[in-house]
Structure 1
C-alpha cells in the first residue's frame, strides 16, 4: 500500500492548481450530412501544440487564453478543417461538421496532422482501426474482419491458421477485455474462431490497447479491444450492404424524427447451409454417403439515438449473434449452438462546458448448448454467464493542462457451469448435474491527462477493483501511469506502467474442437490473476511527416495463471477446482512499426521479436516452458496503392515462427494379456519443446469502384494465400504397420493444413 501513496497524493493534490484565467472553448465534431458524432477526432491548436481528442459523443473542450486562435480538426476519412476563432471573456461553443473525402478510395488516408497527433499523444501501445481501412484489405472468403486486421499489428498474434483469436504480448485469448459500446463480449468469434462477431458495416472503429491501459478499463490482463458501433443518420435514410462468397449483410439507418431521433439496424448471415442441405437431399439414401453437417451463423446490431436537448442524449443499443451447428442421420442426432446477447442503455449529460457524464445500464449474456441423441437416449449440456452492469463516467475539463476522468462500475455475474440433463425416451432413466456460481465485481477509478507543456505530458491514474464470491472478497489497487517527452517536433519518448487484475477465468479443454467455454469466478481457492507491465518506446516522424516509426520494448509479469491437470474433466464435475493448477508467466519483446498514411501508396510494416513462458509445479516437472503461442519472430507488411480514382490494389504478407507443441520422444509397448495386441504409450519430455513449420502467407486484393445510377457501389476481389502455402494447422502421428503381420513398426508425423489459395469476390453497395 505504501508504494501507491505518492501516486495518490500526486493525483489529488494537483486539484487545487486547476484554476486558471483562461476561457473554455468546447463543442462537438460531427459528420456533415448525417450529424453523426466523430469519436476520437483530433482538435488541436497548431501554434501552441495543444490538442484534445473527442469523446464517445464527439465532444471536445479546450481552455485557451483570450484572443485569436486557429483550430484544426482531423479525422480518418474526412477532410481536415481549419477555423480561426476569437476567444472572449465568456465560454465559446464551436461545433465542426467535417466533410467526407471526395473519392471513396481516398477515405483510408489519414492527414499528416494525425500522424503528428500520434507522435504527441501521451498514450502508447495503442492501435486504432476504422472500417474503411479494413474493407480495403484482402480477406478470407471475402469476409472483412476487423479483429483479423488487428492481427497485422505488431505485438498481436493469431492462435493459428484463419483464427480470429488475439494473443497480445504473451497473454491468452481470455485475457482480452472485448467491449462493444461498453458491453462486454465473452466470445467474440464465429465459425469456431475463424471470424469475429463484428459486422464491419455496423462498426465505426476499434481501439486496441496493448499496454499503458487507461484507469477506466479493468478486469483483464493483456489487452482492451474497445469497439464502437455506428450511429444512425440524423438527416436522411441510407442503406448499405454486401453480397459475398459465404455471407450477405444489410444495414439501414436514418431519422425517425429529424435531428431528434434516429436508428440503425444491421444484419449479417452466412448461407453455406442452404447449399449443404440441398446436397444432402440429393444424396440421401445413397450407399456410403455421409451427410454434410449443417452450419450457419448470424448477427444483428441495432440502436436508437434520441437527442433530448443540447445537454442530454439517450442511446439504446443491442447485439444478438448465434452460431448453429447440426448433424442428423437415422442413428445419431447432434446439435450445437452458442452466441452472445448484449444490451445497453446509455444517458449522456453535459452539466456545463467543463463537465460531461455518461451513465449506462448494460446486460451481457453468453451461452452454449450441446444436444445429442443416440438411439433412445438423449443428453443436453449447457453453460452460460450473465452480467448486469451499472457504470458512470465523468469527463472534467478543468484547465491548466488538466483533464480529469473518473467514475465507478458494478457488475453482477451469474455463472452456470456444465449443466447436464440425461434421459431415455421412456423416462425410466434420467439424471441431471451442474453448478451455479455468483460473483460481484466493482471498480472505482480516477485519472488525469496533464499537459505540462507542448513537450511534456502525463496520464496517471488509480483504479480500486474488487470482487466478491462465495463469501470471499478481494480488493486491489491498480496504478496506471504513462508519459511522453518530445525531444523536438519530430521525436518523442514514451513510457508506461500498468497493474491489472482478472477476477473471472476461462476454462477450456485444449483437446476439445468445439468452443465449450466455461467461465469461472475467483473464490476462496481460486485467486485472481494479476499482471504488471512496463513499456518504453520512441516515436519519430520521417520524410517530412509522411512516415511514423515507433520502437517499443515491454516486459510483462503474470501471476496466478491457470492450467489443468492432465486428463482433467471440465464438463461434469462438482469439484472442478481440484482439476486446476496455478503458476506464473512472463513475456517480453521488442516491437518495430513503420507507417505511411499519405500519397498514393500507404500501409505499414511491423516486426515483433518476443518470448513468452509459463511455469507450473505440476507441469513439465516444474521447469519453465514456452507457451504454445510463443512466437519468436512475427512480421506483417500491408500495402494499399491507388492506381486511379476507381481502382485500388492491396496486399498483405505475414510471417511467423511456428507455434510450440509437444512431441513424444519415445513410445513404450507393453502387453498385459498374452495373445492380445500390445498397447502403445507415448512418452513425453519437455512441454512445448518443438516447433511447427514457420507460418507465412500472401493475400492480394483489388477494389473497383462502380458507377451505379444511384448511390455508390464497388466490387472487392481478393485472393487469400495467393501462392498456396500449406501452412500447418496441427500435426498428428499415424501408426505404420507391417503388411504381413499387422504389427506396429513405427509412427509417421502427418501435417494437417486448412486453407489453400482461396479467391473471392464481394459486391458492396450504398445508397
Structure 2
C-alpha cells in the first residue's frame, strides 16, 4: 500500500506543477510524401524561439508555442529540408506535416536526421541513434552489414571478443541488455555463435541504444536498452531491394495492400555456405580418410503489416522468425544443434486528441535451442527455452506549460525450460529424463514527465514500480529515474542523470561470451533480483560553427547481487542449478569522449573510453575486487566517411582496445596416485583474471560504387576487414612440451589462437522501384 501511495503522490506531483496556460500545444505526425510512412527522428523546430522537437517511434512531434505566427523548420535524413508558416491561436493546433525525398540519394548521409544542435538540446543523455543507411556505409565482415557491430564503434560499448555481435555496455554483461524489436523482447540477438546479429538492415527503420538515464517506460535489465523499430511498407507501389554477398543474400519487398490504408514489408536473408560444403562432401565421400565438413547455415524472416483504421487509429502486425542450423552426420554418428528466435507483436495506435496518444501492444516471443545426438542405438536430446507473453500500454499526454507526460503499464507471463534432457535407446532398454520448468509473472507501471522549465533548463523525471513472482517468492521494487539539461550558452550545455534498475531474470553462462547454450533463469527464493544504480554527468559543445559536436560523459554504476559460479559448477542438466551460484557486487566507472561530424563531404566520429569494470565475491580472490573479462581500460574508435563524387564513397574504421582480462596458471605440479604410477599435472592459479591478452586493434576499409541501372538503383560495396592483417588474440592455450627421448613432459608452451586474418568481400546491392 505504501508503494501505491508513493506512486499516486508522484502522479499528483506531475499534474500539479505550475506553469500551465502559458503556451499552446502544436502536435501532429511527420510523414513521407512518397510512401506515407511516419518518419521517426525527424526534427521540427522554431529557430526564432530556440525550441524544437524530435518525432517519436510513431512519427509524432509536439511543440509548446505562444500565440502568434511562427516559422517551422523540418529536417530528416534523405529528405529535403522544408519550412512552413503557422499561426497559433488560443487553442491547441493539430498539424500533420509531409516531407519530399531528397532528389540525390547519395546526399542522404549528409542531411541531418537529428541535428547536432538538437542533440545538444535533448534532455536525454547516454543515447546512441543509428539508421540502417548509416550502417550500410561502414565496412562489414564478409560484407554482412550489422547494426549491432556499428553500435560497438560508439564509446561505452564493448564487443566482448573478435567478430562478436554481443554488447557489453558500461560494464554490464550480455544478459543485462534489454533488446526490443517493435516492443517485443529478443533474448538471443545473434547468429553464427555470436558473429552476426539477427537484425536484417533492410528490415530495420531505426535503432536507439540507451546506455544510461533510462526512460521510465523501460525496465527489467541493468545496463542498456536496445530499441529496434522495423520498417513500414510504402503506400505508392511495389518496391523490391536486396543484396548478394559472399556468404549470404537478402531480399525485401514492400508495397500497398489497400492504397493509403494498408501496406506491408517482408524481408528475408539466408547464408549459403552449406550448399557448397554439401557438394564437397558428396564428391569426396568415397575418398579414404576424408572427414566430412559440418553443415551450417542461418536464415531469418522479418515482416510488418500496417492498416490504417481511420484518422485516429492504426494497427501494426510485426513478426520475426530466425534459425541457426548446425549438423554433422556419418555412418555411426549424427549430431544436430538448432537455435532461434520467434516473435509476433500486434500493436494498436490510437489518437484520443491532439494532446493524448495511446500505444497498446500484445506480443509473444520465444528463444529455444535443441541439441540432438545419435550414436548407434542411443539418442540424446537436450532442450532449453524461454517463452514470453506480454501486454503493455503506453500513453503520451501533452500539457500546457511545457509538460510531456508519459505513463503506462505492462504484464508478462514467463515460461522457462531449463536443461530438459531425454536419453533413449532404440530397444527401450534405457530411458530417462531430467530438467526443470519454471513459470513466472512480471508486472510494471510507470509515469514520467519531460518538462521544459524555461529556454535553458529542461528536466525529465519518472518512477517505475516493478514486481516479479515465481516459485512461491515475490519481489518488487521502486525504480526512480531523472535527467536534466541546462544550456550554458547557445553552443554549450551540461547534462546529468540518475537511474535505478531491477533485473528479475538471469543468463546462466560459464563463458565470457554469449552462446546459444546459455540458459535464462528466473529469480526464486534463493536467487534474488539483480539491482543497479547509475549516475552520469556530461558536457556538450558545438564547434566549428555548428559542424562538430563534442561530448564528454562520466559515469559510475553500482551493481548488486551479481551472479557467478562455484569452481567446478555443473551447468547442464542440473536440477539444483541455483545451488551452484555465487552472489556478489559489481562496479563500473569511466569517462567517454565523443566528437561527431554529420555535414559535408567528410563525416564520421571519434570515440574514446577510459573505464574500469570489476566484480567482488566472498568465495573468489579471497573477497578482493577483480576485473571482468570484458573490462577494457582503453577503447578507441575512429570512423570516417568521405564522398569523392556522386558515385564513389570511401569509408574507414579503426579500433583499438586494451586486451581481454583472463586467468593463467603460474605454476604446475605433478600429482601421483597411491601406487606412484599415474601422474596428473595440476595447474596453480593466482587471482581471477590477473593477466591480459595483447591489445586488440584493426583497420577496416570499404568503397561504395553507385551503378546506373535502368530499373532503379544499385551499387557495389567492396570491404576489407582487418586491412593490415593483424593477428589479434582470440584465446590462449598451453601445449605440452616433451623431451625427444622418452616423451616425458618437461614444460608447457603458451599458444595464441587468432580468428580472422585479412578478409576481403564484395556485395551487390539493388533496389527496384
Instruction: Answer yes or no: is the 8 Å Cα contact 1:456–1:484 preserved in 2.
Output: yes
The 5 A counterparts of 1:426-445 are 426-445=427-446
Structure 1, gaps ≥5 residues long: none
Q: Secondary structure of the equivalent of 2:119?
A: helix
Cα offset for 1:399?
1.7
Q: Map 1:284-323 onto structure 2 (within 5 A).
A: 284-323=285-324
> Which residue matches 2:542?
541
Post-superposition shift, 1:88? 2.5
Shift of 1:55: 2.1
For residues 265-284 of structure 1, the aligned pairs below 5 Å read 265-284=266-285
Distance of aligned partners of 1:84 and 1:31 in 2 relative to their CA distance in 1, 3 Å threshold: same
**Counterpart residue number, 1:705:** 706
Equivalent residue for 2:149? 148
Note if 1:664 corresponds to 2:665: yes
Residue 420 of structure 2 is matched in structure 1 by: 419
Structure 1 window deviating more from structure 2 (722-731 vs 87-96): it is: 87-96
Query: Conserved in 2, the CA contact under 8 Å of 1:250 and 1:266?
Result: yes
CA RMSD of aligned residues (A): 1.7
User: 2:614 matched to which residue of 1?
Assistant: 613
Note the C-alpha offset of 1:722. 0.2
Separation in 1, partners of 2:324, 2:112: 40
- Counterpart in 2 of 1:577? 578
Residues 673, 742 of structure 1: CA spacing in aligned structure 2 closer, same or farther, 3 A cutoff?
farther
Q: Quote the offset at 1:6 in angstroms.
A: 9.4
State the Cα deviation string for residues 668-703 of structure 1 (Å, max 9, x = none): 102215463421010101000000000000000000
Aligned to 1:73: 74
Residues 526, 160 of structure 1: CA spacing in aligned structure 2 closer, same or farther, 3 A cutoff? same
Question: Aligned in 2, Cα 1:112/1:250: closer, same or farther, shift over 3 Å?
Answer: closer
Aligned equivalents of 2:523 and 2:222: distance in 1? 15
1:287: how far off? 1.9
Matches within 5 A, 1:48-447: 48-111=49-112, 114-447=115-448
Moved more, 34-43 or 528-537: 34-43
Mapped contact 1:478–1:498 kept (Cα < 8 A) = yes
SS at match of 2:202: coil
| Partner SS for 2:275 | helix
3-state SS of the aligned residue for 2:115? helix
Shift of 1:42: 1.7
Q: Distance in 2 between matches of 1:498 and 1:745?
A: 55
Q: How big is the shift at 1:426? A: 1.0
Q: 1:503 to 1:524 in 2, by over 3 A?
A: same
Contact 1:52–1:62 at 8 Å: present in 2 too? yes
Which residue does the alignment assign to 2:460?
A: 459
Distance 2:512 2:586 in 1: 22
The equivalent residue for 1:646 is 647
Whole-angstrom distance in 1 between the partners of 2:425 and 2:170: 49
CA separation of 1:112 and 1:93: change in aligned 2, threshold 3 A: closer
**Aligned counterparts of 1:608 and 1:331: Cα–Cα separation in 2:** 52
Q: For 1:131 and 1:379, how far apart are their aligned partners in 2? A: 42
CA displacement, residues 611-636 of structure 1 (integer Å, 9 cap, x when unaligned): 00001111122211100111000000
Which 10-residue stretch deviates more, 78-87 or 349-358?
A: 78-87
Structure 2 unpaired stretches of 5+:
none
What's the CA shift for 1:71?
Answer: 1.0
Alignment of 1:13 onto 2:16 = no
Which has the larger displacement, 467-476 or 692-701? 467-476
Asked if 1:568 is matched to 2:569, the reply is yes
**C-alpha distance in 2, partners of 1:305/1:412?**
26
After TM superposition, the structure 1 = structure 2 runs for residues 437-516 of structure 1, keeping only pairs within 5 Å, are: 437-510=438-511, 515-516=516-517
Supply the distance in 2 between the matched residues of 1:169 and 1:564 (Cα, whole angstroms). 22
Deviations 1:87-113 (A, max 9, x none): 234443322222233322221224397
What is the CA deviation profile of residues 519-538 of structure 1, one whole-angstrom value per residue up to 9, with x for unaligned ones?
Answer: 11001110000000000000
Query: Whole-Å Cα distance in 2 between the matches of residues 669 and 102 of structure 1?
Result: 75
- Distance, in Å, in 2 between the alignment partners of 1:456 and 1:295 is 55
- The answer on whether the counterparts of 1:8 and 1:462 sit within 8 Å (CA) in structure 2 is no
- Counterpart in 2 of 1:558? 559
1:688 maps onto 2:692 in alignment: no
Query: Can you list the C-alpha shifts for 1:62-87, whole angstroms capped at 9, x where unaligned?
Result: 23222101111222232222111112
Q: Distance in 1 between matches of 2:330 and 2:406?
A: 58
- Measure the CA separation in 2 of the matches of 1:513 and 1:395: 36
> 1:601 & 1:19 partners in 2: Cα distance?
45
Worse-matched range after superposition: 92-101 or 138-147? 92-101
Could you tell me the TM-score, scaled by structure 1's length?
A: 0.98
Contact 2:460 / 2:484 at 8 angstroms: preserved in 1?
Answer: yes
Aligned mates of 1:472, 1:483 — CA distance in 2: 37
Q: What is the distance in 2 between the residues matched to 1:312 and 1:258? A: 16
Aligned: 1:523 with 2:507: no
Query: Shift in Å at residue 20 of structure 1?
Result: 0.9
- Alpha-carbon distance between aligned partners in 2 of 1:190 and 1:14, rounded to the nearest angstrom: 44
Q: Quick one: structure 1 residues 447 and 428, their matched pair in 2 at CA, closer, same or farther if it must change by over 3 Å?
A: same
Deviations 1:364-390 (A, max 9, x none): 100000000112111100000000000
Measure, in 1, the Cα distance between the counterparts of 2:456 and 2:513: 53
Greater Cα offset, 157-166 or 41-50:
41-50
Distance 1:199 1:464 in 2: 34
Shift of the 47–8 alpha-carbon distance from structure 1 to 2, 3 Å rule, reads farther
Please say if residues 403 and 448 of structure 1, whose CA atoms lie closer than 8 Å, have aligned partners that are also in contact.
yes
Contact 2:41-2:114 within 8 A present in 1 as well: no
Name the SS for the 1:351 alignment partner: strand
For residues 607 and 296 of structure 1, the distance between their equivalents in structure 2, rounded to whole angstroms, comes to 36
> Per-residue displacement from partner, 1:456-512 (whole Å, max 9, x unpaired)?
000000000110011211110000000000000000000000000000000013289
| Alpha-carbon spacing, 1:472–1:112, altered in 2? closer, same or farther (3 Å) | closer
- Given that residues 80 and 111 in structure 1 are in contact (C-alpha distance below 8 angstroms), is that contact kept between their aligned partners in structure 2? no
Q: Does 1:753 align with 2:760?
A: no
Aligned CA distance change for structure 1 residues 118 and 59 (closer, same or farther; 3 Å): same
Q: Contact 1:112–1:598 (CA<8 Å) still a contact in 2? A: no
TM-score with structure 2 setting the length: 0.98
